[in-house]
Structure 1
């Protein structure tokens, strides 16, 4: 019996994938947030968390969960230094100089959009930090980004086609 790998097997519309993904999220989140069974913690909640926030992958929902978790547990957030900013400067690789100073001098949660740099994250976050990211089917992600940013990105506006699928095909056939 041979099996072939296909991203279609991992579509969220596939009930087996949904069941696996939901189970994985529950198991994974219990390791980060703790899991109570009969009023007892099965494991200790983890307070130092880095979330690599990605566009168009449900990351704002998970960020909201992390913000509420941090607020409920009096944790310290690594926030952008620029007043009113909700993202770190994309033109610079993430580093500790981009972070608003914390009264304690340390941070528990880093969960804003940033230009990822492993060294910068390690300099900013404690050594025992748990790293979290969301993975999405690349074709679904591309379609979502192209649909969402068509009005803002001139390169997307120049792609011929009457609907998103034909525009995606045209772009992939002739990316220049």
Structure 2
């Protein structure tokens, strides 16, 4: 072989070696790939799921046994982590919280955990601001083991929550303010089709304009357009005070999930809690039956002005979320694919076989499953109700 041919061959071999090395690193560290978006470039697009109506099913046995067609564990052999069974989920409105609460209550039933519940049997736990305490069901049994978890609508107060459950893992979920406000509007205020010949889009824009007219020039925060922040006691919009409050939440919460990336959030939750894949299976709850209007530039402009607190909160945790994905201990994409395949199989199975305890609870909304939890706890503990 001539000298020039040997040089060409060596150059090509070196190039192939570099490509193999680079491909190996990008498979382990996929964010190194040129096409991967940065946190700042990551744009959120939320697509509403189709709703499958759910109703409370009668006759569900109180003694729940977790029987499933297959056992899928996410904990490798030799893994020293132990499942976390003390947790507090600060549920927020119209963020997918009902879906998440349903699977958390199901996990509690499976593992005989004691839920702190509202005495009136609802899915929201009332907060007394003057006494900084919560109204929950109390049990008089001398051998009462204590509460293990909360998965309700609840105002966040760390000290008051520590008085109920010590050393808990704290999780919550946030949603892009642009779609969050839209969802809350159509859920709570309702919409009359063709009323005054307005479309859904016109109705929503008129609502935003009315808010803008009310709050413009007054330096006031419209808390019904910043409900996520209000849930965590963030009452100041001044930048420094706001960022201090957001950093405090970041330090106190173990995981902040995102509605727009619900499956990805659950993969992070499973890893954090050392749970199995079957523990994070879910069935979408309380999703709008019809499509909601697109958030237009005009709508976004108004929301930018009136929801600055929520937007700052969301943007911060959108950034930290993707950092957690990058630092995931394991193959994130493989786990996500595995989970989605399992979820699809179980969903199809349970839509056909709703007569089993597992499928009844899998499809059940958070309010009915809260009732099941309440009734079961009454049976095996002395309740002061």
Query: TM-score scaled to structure 2, two decimals?
Result: 0.33
- Equivalent residue in structure 1 for 2:93, among 55, 66, 86: 55
- Equivalent residue in structure 1 for 2:158, among 111, 115, 118: 118
1:66, 1:4 → 2: CA distance? Answer: 29
- Note the C-alpha offset of 1:171: 3.4
Q: String of CA shifts for 1:59-87, please: whole Å, max 9, x gaps.
A: 011101110101100111001123x3322
- Relative contact order higher in (CA < 8 Å, ≥ 6 apart): 2
Bigger Cα displacement from structure 2, 165-174 vs 57-66? 165-174
1:95 equivalent in structure 2: 133
Tell me the number of residue pairs that the alignment of Structure 1 and Structure 2 aligns. 140
- Equivalent residue in structure 1 for 2:102, among 58, 64, 73: 64
2:172 equivalent in structure 1: 133
- Equivalent residue in structure 1 for 2:209, among 160, 170, 174: 170
2:210, 2:124 → 1: CA distance? Answer: 29
- Equivalent residue in structure 2 for 1:145, among 184, 195, 210: 184
Change (3 A) 1:115 1:134: same
User: Structure 1: where are the runs of 5+ without partners?
Assistant: 14-33, 153-160
- Note the C-alpha offset of 1:4: 9.6
2:81, 2:145 → 1: CA distance? Answer: 27
Cα RMSD over matched residues?
2.9
2:147 equivalent in structure 1: 107
User: Structure 2: where are the runs of 5+ without partners?
Assistant: 1-37, 48-72, 192-197, 216-385
Q: String of CA shifts for 1:118-176, please: whole Å, max 9, x gaps.
A: 221111112x2100100100111001001111149xxxxxxxx6434423441353235
Query: TM-score scaled to structure 1, two decimals?
Result: 0.67
2:171, 2:186 → 1: CA distance? Answer: 26
Q: String of CA shifts for 1:74-106, please: whole Å, max 9, x gaps.
A: 111001123x3322226x34625x111144251
